[in-house]
A = this chain, B = another copy of it.
Amino acid sequence: MLENKTPSKTAISELGEFALIDHLTSSFNLKHKTSVLGIGDDAAVLKFGKDETLVSTDLLIEGVHFDLSYMPLKHLGYKAVVVNLSDIYAMNASPTQITVSIAVSNRFTLEAIEEFYQGISIACENYKVDLIGGDTTSSTSGLTISITALGSVSKKQISLRSGAQENDLLVVSGDLGGAYMGLQVLEREKAVFKVNPNSQPDLSGYSYSIERQLKPKARKDIIELLDELDIKPSAMIDISDGLSSEILHLSKASDVGFHLFEEKLPIDPEVIGICEEFKFNSTTAVLNGGEDYELLFTISQNDFEKIKNHPLLTVIGHAIDSKGGCQMINGIGHQIELTAQGWKSF
Interface pair A39/B132, CB less than 8 Å apart: yes
Expressed in whole angstroms, the minimum distance between the Cβ of A17 and any Cβ of chain B is 6
User: B-facing mask of A101-143, CB < 8 A → 1, else 0?
Assistant: 1111011111111110100010010001111111111111110
Interface pair A132/B1, CB less than 8 Å apart: no
Binds B, one of A21-29, A167-175, A193-201, A247-255: A21-29
> CA–CA, A73 to B3, complex, Å?
12
A205 interface residue (CB < 8 Å to B): no
Expressed in whole angstroms, the minimum distance between the Cβ of A129 and any Cβ of chain B is 8
- Please name 22 pairs of A and B residues whose Cβ atoms are closer than 8 Å in the assembled complex, sorted by A: A1-B72, A1-B112, A2-B108, A10-B110, A12-B108, A17-B136, A24-B113, A28-B121, A32-B97, A32-B130, A34-B96, A35-B96, A44-B132, A55-B150, A57-B101, A58-B101, A59-B137, A63-B140, A64-B103, A64-B137, A65-B137, A103-B144
A152 interface residue (CB < 8 Å to B): yes
> CA–CA, A150 to B73, complex, Å?
29
User: B-facing mask of A55-71, CB < 8 A → 1, else 0?
Assistant: 11111011111001000
- CB-defined contacts of A310 to chain B, threshold 8 Å: none
Expressed in whole angstroms, the minimum distance between the Cβ of A145 and any Cβ of chain B is 9
Q: Which of A1-58 contact B (CB under 8 A)?
A: 1-4, 9-15, 17, 20-21, 23-25, 27-32, 34-35, 37-39, 43-44, 46, 48-51, 53, 55-58
Given A109-B4, A139-B64: A132 touches B59 (CB 8 Å cut-off):
no
> CA–CA, A50 to B21, complex, Å?
33
> CA–CA, A99 to B14, complex, Å?
24
Given A51-B48, A112-B1: A135 touches B58 (CB 8 Å cut-off):
yes
Expressed in whole angstroms, the minimum distance between the Cβ of A147 and any Cβ of chain B is 9
Of B1, B14, B101, B131, which one neighbours A28 at CB under 8 angstroms?
A: B131
> How many identical subunits does the complex contain?
2
A146 interface residue (CB < 8 Å to B): yes
Interface pair A150/B46, CB less than 8 Å apart: yes
Of B2, B15, B17, B128, which one neighbours A110 at CB under 8 angstroms?
A: B15
> CA–CA, A193 to B9, complex, Å?
26
Interface pair A133/B59, CB less than 8 Å apart: no
Of B31, B62, B110, B135, which one neighbours A59 at CB under 8 angstroms?
A: B135
Expressed in whole angstroms, the minimum distance between the Cβ of A230 and any Cβ of chain B is 25
Expressed in whole angstroms, the minimum distance between the Cβ of A52 and any Cβ of chain B is 9
Given A101-B59, A109-B9: A96 touches B17 (CB 8 Å cut-off):
no
A148 interface residue (CB < 8 Å to B): yes
Interface pair A345/B138, CB less than 8 Å apart: yes
Interface pair B132/A55, CB less than 8 Å apart: yes
Interface pair A57/B135, CB less than 8 Å apart: yes
Given A101-B146, A137-B345, A138-B64: A10 touches B132 (CB 8 Å cut-off):
no
